[in-house]
A and B are shown apart, each in its own frame.
Chain A
Amino acid sequence: MTSTSSDILGLFFAVCGLMFTLTLFGEVLSARGGEDNPVVETFKTRLRSWWGMVILFTLALIAGKVGIIVLFAFASFAALREFLTLTNKRQADHLALALGFFVVLPLQYLFVGLDWQALYTVFIPVYAFLMLPVVSALRGNSDRFLIRVAETQWALMIAVFCMSHVPALLMIDVAGYPADRGVLLIAFLVMVVQFGDLLDFFFGRRIGKTRIIPNLSAKTWEGMACGVASAAIIGGLLAWMTPFGIGGAVAMAALASTAGMFGNLVFAAIKADRGVKDWSHLIPGQGGFTDQLDSVIFAAPIFYHVTHLIWG
């Protein structure tokens, strides 16, 4: 067993232990009369879907590079479907949208898999950005044209481009950091962002007072500060997974968590605009894939590029 796979296994057991503790904690809260408490219920349903995520994610980590890329390609597909269900479109966009699903999305993940960095960092922001509106325009319906193409591009940027920067972390080349440890860097990003969110939720309910955007999101400044601080501490503890060193890992965790939390607010604004509470129903009791991954989606490209800038 290589040191990377034993680290993955160790990490899996540590996460399982932690999740088990949290599950027990949730059960204790319910047993102590919190059964009808919606906060406890939310906490427990979230934990349940996280168990699913942990298991899927670990399987993908074990399968290696291809497993991770396929997993995130499917997550992109689900998120793109949720996003485009809510956007403005006309029949004239049909071909452009079909190209988005069945050509742009698979190509983006293929480019990531082949490590063609010069292509996967510009394919959607340049080529898809210019070409898909051409396909729509050729069909000749100009009704709300700018809104239609802009919303389609936004969907592709978020659901495909940003999301694909998570598996793109596999390809980062840092001196002195073995190439096969890229999977651990992904685990680091996902964990600090998700635990930051969980602790933001927890502290927000406990001590949160000042809502960041009243009427839009339950997020509070107090909860966010505690969440980011917790993410930074967790990042420090997980520094061995990264090439950053302890100080660097703390800073990167705080950066990713902050980006993720503001991303969550952006998504809350989009949902409010479209008059929906959740992106979809695909994860039972949890809403959609986009609800579950919004902060990771927002954090991934920033995390990727800052890593490149400083350590690459």
Chain B
Amino acid sequence: MSLPRRFAAKIVGQAIALFARFITAVRADWRGIEPVNKQRVYFANHVSNADMPMIWSCMPPNIRRDVRPVAAADYWLKNKLRAFVGPEVFNCVLVDRRPEARDENHDPMQNILDALDDGSSLIIFPEGNRNMTEDPLLPFKSGLFNMGKARPDVDLVPTWIANVTAIMPKGEVIPLPLICTVTFGEPIHVEDGETKDAFLARASNALVDLAPSREDRL
């Protein structure tokens, strides 16, 4: 990446973080971990395209520098602007979700593990897709289990992002300036001999436990 481009990416990143703070006063609640730069996989619920920028914006700069969101290549490579914002501003790890791309010299999990081996932290959305249902979470895909098993030392941190649906529901144009809270829970790990289903259920519960109780009151 050339120097001017890197500089532009930095400025755009700051602008996005500032905008998110102004509109939603996004706040991080470090309930289970300290806001220090340690290698982690932040796994979050996914209801809106604004989720990833929100989590990214509420992280302190020293964490943000080394964190890489895992995102869909088909979304972020759609046009030139996205190709700049996704890979360069957010420094995304792009994965191709299409099954047919999987065989030809592209293994999404390998990209993710490479990023972890470089020392980066990751933000992932283990539901795979945006949750449009009334349930708090969709069933998790196996990716979280696979990376927890392949790199057992890395902390897997449940990250609940609240209120984004109310701020910007699907199909609305104007964002509401409500307060968005991102809660970081206690890290979990894949235990010895734990099955995929058992681990994913445990991870899913750890994430739902962070949801403010007021949301399930209604």
Contact = CB atoms under 8 A, between A and B. Distances in A.
Contact of B179 (A77, A85, A89, A97): A85
Given A102-B174, A280-B25, A81 B179 contact: yes
Contacts of B214: 86, 274-275
Q: Is the interface of B mostly helix, strand, loop or mixed?
A: loop
Interface in B7-60: 25, 27
A206 interface: no
Given A94-B176, A274-B214, A282-B25, A85 B163 contact: yes
Contact of A144 (B163, B166, B174, B218): B218
Most buried by A among B169, B172, B177: B177
Contact of B176 (A82, A84, A88, A281): A84
Nearest to B178: A85
A88 B177 contact: no
Interface residues of B, number: 15
Nearest to B173: A98
Given A94-B169, A275-B213, A280-B25, A82 B177 contact: no
A2 interface: no
A221 interface: no
By size class, the interface of chain A is: 20 to 34
A280 B179 contact: yes
B218 A88 contact: yes
Contacts of A280: 25, 179
A82 B172 contact: no
A37 interface: no
Nearest to B180: A85
B147 to A, nearest CB: 32
A91 B172 contact: yes
A266 B176 CA distance: 26
Contacts of A77: 177
Contacts of B213: 275
A280 B214 CA distance: 15
Given A81-B178, A101-B177, A94 B218 contact: no
A101 B218 contact: no
A84 B169 contact: no
Given A85-B178, A88-B218, A280-B25, 12 more contacts: A81-B25, A81-B177, A82-B179, A91-B169, A94-B172, A94-B174, A97-B176, A98-B174, A101-B177, A102-B174, A280-B179, A281-B27
Interface of B: 25, 27, 163, 166, 169, 171-172, 174, 176-179, 213-214, 218
21 contacts: A81-B179, A82-B179, A84-B178, A85-B163, A85-B178, A86-B214, A89-B166, A91-B172, A94-B169, A94-B172, A94-B176, A95-B172, A97-B176, A98-B176, A101-B176, A101-B177, A102-B174, A274-B214, A275-B214, A280-B25, A282-B25
Please name the 6 residue pairs, one residue from A and one from B, whose CB atoms are nearest each other, closest first: A91-B169, A85-B179, A98-B174, A85-B178, A94-B172, A81-B177
